[in-house]
Chain A
Amino acid sequence: MTDKTISKVPGLSRRSLLKAGFAAGAVAGTAGAARAAGDPLITEIQDWNRYLGDGVQSRPYGMPSEFEADVVRRDVEWLTASTESSVNFTPLHDLDGIITPNGLCFERHHGGIAEINPADHRLMINGLVDTPLVFTMEDLKRFPRENRVYFLECAANSGMEWRGSQLNGCQYTHGMVHCVMYTGVPLKLILEEAGLKTNAKWVMPEGADASAMTRSIPMEKALDDCLVAFKMNGEALRPEQGYPLRLVVPGWEGNMWVKWLRRIEVGDEPWHQREETSKYTDLLENGKARRFTWVMDPKSVITSPSPQAPISHGKGPMVISGVAWSGNGRIKRVDVSLDGGRNWKTARLDGPSLSKAMHRFYLDIDWDGSDMLIQSRAMDEHGFFQPTKNELRAARGENSIYHNNGIQTWYVKADGMVENVEVS
Chain B
Amino acid sequence: MSKFLKALSLGTLIATLPLLAATAHAGDAQKGEKVFKKCAACHAVGEGAKNKVGPELNDVFGRTAGSLGDYKYSKAMIEAGNGGLVWDEATLTTYLTKPRDMVKGTKMAFAGLKKQDDLENVIAYLATYSSAAAPADQQGAAEPAAEEAAAGETETASADTSAAAHAAPVSETRDGGVLGLGRVATDDEVAAWNIDIRPDGTGLPEGSGTVAEGEVLFTDNCAVCHGDFGEGVGRWPVLAGGQDTLTEERPEKTIGSYWPYLSTVYDYVRRAMPYGNARSLSDDDVYALTAYLLYLNDLVDDEDFELSKDNFLEIRLPNEENFIADTRAEEPHYAAKAEPCMSNCKDSAVEITMRARILDVTPGSVDDDDASGMGSVD
Contact = CB atoms under 8 A, between A and B. Distances in A.
B240 interface: no
Contacts of A30: none
Nearest to B234: A81
A362 interface: no
A78 B361 contact: yes
Given A81-B234, A279-B378, A143 B189 contact: no
A422 interface: yes
A86 B277 CA distance: 18
B378 A85 contact: yes
A269 B197 CA distance: 12
B114 interface: no
A160 interface: yes
A274 B341 CA distance: 41
Interface in A339-378: 339-344, 373, 377
A273 B171 CA distance: 33
Nearest to A156: B377
A166 B235 contact: no
B185 A277 contact: no
B355 A165 contact: yes
B16 to A, nearest CB: 37
A342 B344 contact: yes
A274 B254 CA distance: 12
Interface in B364-378: 364-367, 371-378
Given A132-B185, A278-B264, A344-B345, A395 B333 contact: yes
Contacts of A290: 323-328
Interface stretch (B57-65, B162-170, B204-212, B281-289): B162-170
Interface string A316-358: 0000000000000000000100011111100000000000000
A285 B247 contact: yes
Interface stretch (B2-10, B99-107, B176-184, B214-222): B176-184
B352 A79 contact: no
Contact of B170 (A117, A138, A292, A384): A138
Contacts of A111: 272, 275, 278
B313 interface: no
Nearest to B37: A112
A228 interface: no
A153 interface: no
B346 A342 contact: yes
B334 A265 contact: no
A84 interface: yes
Interface string A159-196: 11111111111001000100000000000010011110
Nearest to B267: A273
A65 interface: no
Given A163-B374, A163-B375, A168 B345 contact: no
Contacts of A78: 235, 361, 371-373
B251 interface: yes
A2 interface: no
Given A81-B236, A138-B170, A265-B196, A342 B333 contact: no
Contacts of B116: none
A53 interface: no
Nearest to B265: A274
Contact of A289 (B236, B261, B324): B324
B190 A419 contact: no
Interface string A75-114: 1111111101111000000000000000000001011100
B361 A277 contact: no
B41 interface: yes
B352 A373 contact: yes
B200 interface: yes
Interface stretch (A8-16, A19-27, A36-44, A234-242): A8-16
User: Which among A263, A278, A420 has the greatest number of chain B C-beta atoms within 10 A?
Assistant: A278
B258 interface: yes
A281 interface: yes
A73 to B, nearest CB: 12
B366 A10 contact: yes
Contact of B182 (A134, A286, A379): A134
Contact of B251 (A11, A124, A399, A424): A399
A137 interface: yes
A289 B322 contact: yes
B225 A81 contact: yes
A1 interface: no
Contacts of B72: none
Contacts of B311: none
A344 B350 CA distance: 14
Interface string B341-358: 111111001111111110
Contact of A80 (B169, B253, B325, B377): B377
User: Which among A81, A394, A421 has the greatest number of chain B C-beta atoms within 10 A?
Assistant: A81
User: Which among B167, B196, B258, B371 has the greatest number of chain A C-beta atoms within 10 A?
Assistant: B196
A270 B376 CA distance: 26
A294 interface: yes
A414 interface: no
A82 B52 contact: yes
B259 interface: yes
A387 B355 contact: no
B340 interface: yes
B268 interface: yes
Given A290-B327, A401-B376, A424-B353, 13 more contacts: A78-B371, A119-B167, A133-B183, A134-B185, A134-B189, A138-B168, A139-B181, A156-B377, A160-B376, A212-B271, A291-B323, A341-B350, A422-B354
Interface of A: 10-15, 74-82, 84-87, 108, 110-112, 117-120, 124-127, 131-140, 142-143, 154, 156, 159-169, 172, 176, 189, 192-195, 204, 206, 210-212, 214, 262-263, 265, 267, 269, 271-274, 277-279, 281, 283, 285-295, 297, 307, 335, 339-344, 373, 377, 379, 383-385, 387-388, 391-392, 394-396, 398-399, 401, 403, 411, 419-424
29 contacts: A14-B365, A75-B363, A78-B372, A85-B275, A112-B40, A119-B166, A126-B190, A133-B177, A134-B189, A136-B169, A159-B375, A166-B374, A168-B356, A195-B177, A211-B271, A212-B278, A272-B199, A273-B264, A274-B267, A278-B258, A278-B259, A288-B322, A293-B328, A342-B349, A395-B332, A401-B376, A422-B352, A423-B350, A423-B352
Query: What 10 pairs across the A-B complex have the smallest Cβ distances?
Result: A340-B350, A11-B357, A160-B375, A420-B356, A387-B333, A138-B171, A133-B182, A81-B235, A132-B185, A274-B268
